[in-house]
Structures are given as C-alpha cells and as structure tokens.
Amino acid sequence: MDILKEWQNLSAEMQTTKQSEEVSVFTLDVRSKDILQDLLYKLKWKLRWIRIIDLPLLAVALFSETDLKILLLAVFVLYELSYWMGKKEFNKIKTTVDYTSDTKNVLENNLCAISKILYLEKIWGYLIAPLAGPIGFLCYKLYVHKSFETVFALPNIYLHLALLIPLGIFIIVLGNIMNRSLFKEQIANLNEKIKELSNH
C-alpha cells in the first residue's frame, strides 16, 4: 500500500539522523514541554480563581434584593468576560506534537498566547482593581439599605467611595509582583528555547 510505503520511507529518513542530534532535539523538546506545562498549570489556576470568585457572587446575587442583585450580576459579567477572553487565548496553546508545524513557530505562538493572557489580565486589573474597594463598600451598603437611592443619599458616601479607590493601587502592585514571581523565569526560559531553535 502507498501508505505503508510512505511510512517505511519516513522511518528510513528518521533513522539517518545522527544519534547525537536526536538526543539533543529530544532533550530540547522535553525541556520545552516541561516549561509549557508549568506555565499551563499556573494559567489554569488563574482561570480557576476567576470562577472561585465569580460563582459565589452569582449565588449571592440570586438571593439578593433588586439593586444589590444588579450590582453583583454586573461584577459577575465582568469576571466572566475576563474568563472568556483568557480561556480563548489559553485554548491556542499547544503542548502535543504536531508534525505539520515547525517547533519554533509552535513555541512562538504559545509564548504569544501566554503573554496575551498576562497582558489582558494586567489591563483588566488596571481598569477594575481601583473599583474593587468602592464596589465592595457599595455591596455592603446595599445589603443594609436595600436601594441605590438610599445609599447615595447617605452623608459623605462619595467621599468614602473615593477614599477606597487607592486600595486598587495596592491590588495592582500585588498582582504585578505575583505575576513576576510566577511567570518571569518560565517565560525567560521559553524565550531562550526559541532562540536556541533559531540558531539551528
């Protein structure tokens, strides 16, 4: 059969590769895969944490008064949007062998997807983190006073909300520190693997 013949030709071609080169490429593939799997594990937990946060919010919203429900559902939608955008990029990452693709291109595409997830998280953090304190405060006030109208009629309410905005700066700084700790070394290693493949 033609398929059998092609397989035999492919096997023969593979056998002609020098043993030392086979070991070198195999080691590189394993090391690259280890780096990717470490990054994937950490990215999966990032996505899981979104669900750990937003699903309880949804559960509370279902049993809340109207105005508090609106606020909690809005926060839930924001988290789900973040999850969907991250998941979309996460699904682009390849860890299985694809003989139709160049290894260097696969690693570059994976690095691009990983970097985009972290970039989207950073942008999302810059936009949402400053609102975390005020939103939490509003949720508490809505639980007590039931309506936006009553809450925003409270004395100094706008001052209290404004004073909580700087809490977002702390959240942003903490998030950046955590990302550097978790991802900086692995991304640098992945970049190094891509450079090694470029020199072959």
The residue with greater pLDDT, 8 or 39, is 39
pLDDT band at 189 (very low <50, low <70, confident <90, very high): confident
Average pLDDT across the chain, whole number: 81
**Six-digit token string for 126:** 């810059």
- By the 8 A CB rule, do 196 and 28 touch? yes
Distances from the Cα of 80 to the Cαs of 51, 147, 171, 198, in angstroms?
Answer: 8, 25, 19, 38
Please report, for the chain, the start and end positions of each structural domain, with discontinuous segments joined by +.
26-198
What is the CB neighbour count within 10 angstroms for residue 54? 19
Distances from the Cα of 197 to the Cαs of 11, 114, 187, in angstroms?
Answer: 23, 19, 15
- Quote the CA–CA distance of 46 and 118 in Å, as a whole number: 10
pLDDT in tens, 52-94: 988 999 999 999 888 999 999 999 999 999 999 989 988 888 7
Burial profile 8-31: b = 16 or more Cβ within 10 angstroms, e = fewer: eeeeeeeeeeeeeeeeeeeeeeee
The pLDDT score that the predictor gives to residue 39 is 86
Answer whether 0.85 is exceeded by the pTM: no
